Chains A and B, each alone.
Chain A
């Protein structure tokens, strides 16, 4: 039998796939022309795309970036091309509003630092120590934007340390519940009554109606910028980011409140959430605009942007709470029971067992809320703030650029699109990464 075998011992060389089953023609037939109906649809769709591009591309490409006014531009290029000159001419305003030109490095630096602060939260491969910077960033960012004496952010920050120290002392003596209450009380008292005088003492005060300016002990600081000078993309980012950062913890607390066994806590949370979710944001912005000062002690008035941030935060927190509640409800009861069985108290079980899992489930929703919040910042144009949409009206009202429409709207749309689209892509990446199932 040697040497005789009916079984092939070596592999045959691979043959090319039959003609028409590979390459571009095959792909086209499978995906665009699988039957006559599909074929017609494909042709119509392609014709549509071609038509839109035919309308848009020549207009956009033949447009000019020169010229300082619409009339000059129209004389030069005729009516059928874009006058991108408005973007070049007003770019600075669209980015920073009326922020003093000499100080514009500050918002830019704040933006770059924001990216640094956000990076360790977004990507867990980065060193964890960077989170320290993320925690400090809100104070640095606010100081860079508004300026003023350095003591303001430092003293506000000190409130947290005071609270923490009070908590550690009281917890040892009186238990954690009393500790939390006392810590909150101490912090609030510090912020409400003591921060102002301390800052005045260290950084100096500005002249008011009844008092002259006093020099501070250590008057370190940078030039302060009024909120009314804020505008453009910077304003959107400021309101959006502060809303996001502040609404997240508030949302967690509200979600826990709504899931709580305690009747009163639950009722208050439900009333708050359902009320806020039932009214449009614009009504809340009206409240910020005309009504909020009524609810504060007579004589207090603080600036519009701060009031808007407060209302936007309250608004976003209600949506955030519902998303996180969804995550809490989706966890199997076994997780809660197991945490109890381990002897963990409520806060520990929430912090170590429940929240990490619940937040993970809610990530798409949370990012969705953030995107919605960022888009909703455009609404502030209705109450007269100069965000990009508000600026379009201002720019179109000038004699130079009277009658300009598409170029501005397109630019702003693309600007927002870049931010929101990248956020939604990030959410998808995170979902894939955190998937622990199959």
Chain B
């Protein structure tokens, strides 16, 4: 007893900070903290003295100055009289545009290729292997400049579409592939078109509700409804009815050759298409590998058991294999979405004005505010990345195997 007392209250020696496991981790943490703080102080001190030597001070006021440069690809109103902040907004929206469109198509393409890679058809599976190994083993930057070169070198000039002996032709008088970009029909919304849009939104909600009801119905009675066709009907028929009742308020405007260029349609710029295309084919190769790994991770017993229950091969895939494979597929899929978003910053190589091109490119060069611009750029990308991984983690948790 006496000895225990002696130990508990006993004399604290300095060496116990190192040798006693009770204090040891505290000592290490304090040392680490001091080193990190010293390091940060050193960096900030260097930074401040460097900046003062250059007569600069950290200041974000430049964001509200007139930018003075044009951005040809924009989703919101912008002119060279707008502020740098507005330019950054335009760039951010352009980044998000490529990211969202890219993720969508990369998933579609990746999943199909991943499934086809497992095809029993020898030539199909070999072709998909070649696709995957080709596209994922070459740097994405090379694919981006390559795609851009294809658009510029292979597609005809707009003037090739002119005259009776034109060398190039529009596809169905609606789509024109030119070396200045792709022209597609544009939708014009007239008065009353809002009703059509509302109907469409209501239909989509209706489809969800119907899906739930159909599932409940199936669980209650065992009857399987042809949900796909009914859903398609719900989507199309009411919208079409409203469309004709309102007197066709939405019209298509076809691109036409006027002067040296096409007018009237929607102009998809080369840089946007090339960047998206390259990111999609590159990322889809990785997604295909994730999908293949996910499907192969499901033990054969699952398929055999489902077949033994009398399920048709199609339903085995959709009801038994895919839901389980999804758990394996989703985490790598998240990181591929993140990669695609981050790789979209390579837009600068083809002159697409994303956030790196505006805030980290022209704004930085014009204002000379490297520190502020790059800091903002990093914060923006960090926010996007963390949001994507948060959303996908929520989804991942909802499909996760519930373990006891």
Contact A287 B374 (CB under 8 A): yes
Binary A-proximity of B9-48 (CB < 8 A = 1, otherwise 0): 0000000001100001101110111001000000100110
Residues on A with beta carbons closer than 8 Å to the beta carbon of B51: 294
Interface centre among A174, A263, A277 (most CB of B within 10 A): A277
Contact B50 A294 (CB under 8 A): yes
Contact B46 A297 (CB under 8 A): yes
Q: A31-B121, A283-B378 are in contact. Are A382 and B28 (CB under 8 A)?
A: no
Binary B-proximity of A282-318 (CB < 8 A = 1, otherwise 0): 1100110011011111100000000000000000000
Contact A32 B19 (CB under 8 A): no
Residues on A with beta carbons closer than 8 Å to the beta carbon of B120: 31, 34, 38
Contact A42 B385 (CB under 8 A): no
Q: In whole angstroms, how far apart are the Cα atoms of A296 and B364 in the complex?
A: 21
B349 and chain A: residue at smallest CB distance:
A382
A420 and chain B: residue at smallest CB distance:
B137
Within 8 Å of chain A (Cβ to Cβ): is B111? no
Residues on B with beta carbons closer than 8 Å to the beta carbon of A45: 121, 123-124, 127
Contact A296 B46 (CB under 8 A): yes
Residues on B with beta carbons closer than 8 Å to the beta carbon of A91: none
Contact A416 B137 (CB under 8 A): yes
Within 8 Å of chain A (Cβ to Cβ): is B310? no
Within 8 Å of chain A (Cβ to Cβ): is B97? no
Within 8 Å of chain A (Cβ to Cβ): is B145? yes
Contact A280 B345 (CB under 8 A): yes
Contact B382 A279 (CB under 8 A): yes
Residues on A with beta carbons closer than 8 Å to the beta carbon of B385: 277-279
Output the least CB separation between B132 and chain A (Å).
Answer: 10
Output the least CB separation between A174 and chain B (Å).
Answer: 8
Output the least CB separation between B142 and chain A (Å).
Answer: 6
Interface residues of B in 140-156 (CB under 8 A from A): 140-142, 145-146, 149, 153
Residues on B with beta carbons closer than 8 Å to the beta carbon of A38: 120-121
Contact B50 A298 (CB under 8 A): yes
Within 8 Å of chain A (Cβ to Cβ): is B342? yes
Residues on A with beta carbons closer than 8 Å to the beta carbon of B47: 294-295
**Which of B18, B145, B146, B345 is in CB contact (< 8 Å) with A282?**
B345
Within 8 Å of chain A (Cβ to Cβ): is B66? no
Contact A413 B348 (CB under 8 A): no
**Which of A42, A293, A377 is in CB contact (< 8 Å) with B121?**
A42
Residues on B with beta carbons closer than 8 Å to the beta carbon of A379: 141, 346
Output the least CB separation between A264 and chain B (Å).
Answer: 4
Q: In whole angstroms, how far apart are the Cα atoms of A409 and B123 in the complex?
A: 28
Interface residues of A in 348-404 (CB under 8 A from B): 371, 375-379, 381-382, 389, 392
Output the least CB separation between A111 and chain B (Å).
Answer: 20
**Which of A261, A268, A279, A409 is in CB contact (< 8 Å) with B142?**
A409
Within 8 Å of chain B (Cβ to Cβ): is A76? no
**Which of B142, B149, B338 is in CB contact (< 8 Å) with A405?**
B149
Contact B142 A412 (CB under 8 A): yes
Q: A280-B342, A280-B343, A291-B370 are in contact. Are A286 and B360 (CB under 8 A)?
A: yes
Contact B356 A378 (CB under 8 A): no
Contact A298 B53 (CB under 8 A): yes
Within 8 Å of chain B (Cβ to Cβ): is A175? yes
Within 8 Å of chain A (Cβ to Cβ): is B371? yes
Within 8 Å of chain A (Cβ to Cβ): is B381? yes
Within 8 Å of chain B (Cβ to Cβ): is A46? yes
Residues on B with beta carbons closer than 8 Å to the beta carbon of A371: 137
**Which of B18, B32, B49, B142 is in CB contact (< 8 Å) with A378?**
B142
Output the least CB separation between B313 and chain A (Å).
Answer: 12
Within 8 Å of chain A (Cβ to Cβ): is B377? yes
B31 and chain A: residue at smallest CB distance:
A181
Within 8 Å of chain B (Cβ to Cβ): is A262? yes
Within 8 Å of chain A (Cβ to Cβ): is B202? no
A-B pair count, CB < 8 Å, reads 153
Within 8 Å of chain B (Cβ to Cβ): is A77? no
Contact B134 A389 (CB under 8 A): no
Within 8 Å of chain B (Cβ to Cβ): is A49? yes
**Which of B50, B122, B141 is in CB contact (< 8 Å) with A389?**
B141
Q: In whole angstroms, how far apart are the Cα atoms of A358 and B204 in the complex?
A: 48
A425 and chain B: residue at smallest CB distance:
B133
Residues on A with beta carbons closer than 8 Å to the beta carbon of B187: none
Q: In whole angstroms, how far apart are the Cα atoms of A392 and B346 in the complex?
A: 17
Within 8 Å of chain A (Cβ to Cβ): is B138? yes
Within 8 Å of chain B (Cβ to Cβ): is A275? yes
Residues on B with beta carbons closer than 8 Å to the beta carbon of A281: 342
Within 8 Å of chain B (Cβ to Cβ): is A220? no
Within 8 Å of chain B (Cβ to Cβ): is A178? yes
Residues on B with beta carbons closer than 8 Å to the beta carbon of A175: 18-19
Within 8 Å of chain B (Cβ to Cβ): is A130? no
Contact B374 A290 (CB under 8 A): yes
Within 8 Å of chain A (Cβ to Cβ): is B386? yes
Contact B356 A31 (CB under 8 A): no
Contact A283 B356 (CB under 8 A): yes
Within 8 Å of chain A (Cβ to Cβ): is B139? yes
Output the least CB separation between A343 and chain B (Å).
Answer: 13
Output the least CB separation between B209 and chain A (Å).
Answer: 35
Residues on B with beta carbons closer than 8 Å to the beta carbon of A178: 18
Contact A264 B386 (CB under 8 A): no
Residues on A with beta carbons closer than 8 Å to the beta carbon of B43: 295
Q: In whole angstroms, how far apart are the Cα atoms of A296 and B51 in the complex?
A: 11
Residues on A with beta carbons closer than 8 Å to the beta carbon of B49: 298
Residues on B with beta carbons closer than 8 Å to the beta carbon of A31: 120-122
Interface residues of A in 13-53 (CB under 8 A from B): 31-32, 34, 38, 41-42, 45-46, 48-49
Contact A282 B121 (CB under 8 A): no
Contact B345 A275 (CB under 8 A): no
Within 8 Å of chain B (Cβ to Cβ): is A417? yes
B153 and chain A: residue at smallest CB distance:
A405
Output the least CB separation between B13 and chain A (Å).
Answer: 13
28 contacts between A and B (CB under 8 A): A31-B122, A41-B121, A42-B121, A45-B127, A46-B123, A262-B29, A263-B29, A264-B33, A265-B29, A265-B32, A277-B385, A278-B385, A279-B382, A280-B356, A282-B345, A282-B356, A283-B356, A283-B378, A290-B364, A294-B371, A375-B139, A377-B139, A381-B141, A382-B141, A413-B146, A416-B139, A417-B134, A420-B137
Sorted from nearest, which 5 A-B pairs have the closest CB atoms? Answer: A31-B122, A280-B342, A278-B385, A278-B382, A375-B139
Given contacts A38-B120, A49-B123, A283-B374, 15 further A-B contacts (CB under 8 A): A41-B121, A45-B127, A175-B19, A181-B31, A263-B29, A278-B381, A279-B381, A279-B385, A280-B356, A282-B360, A375-B139, A378-B139, A392-B145, A405-B149, A421-B133
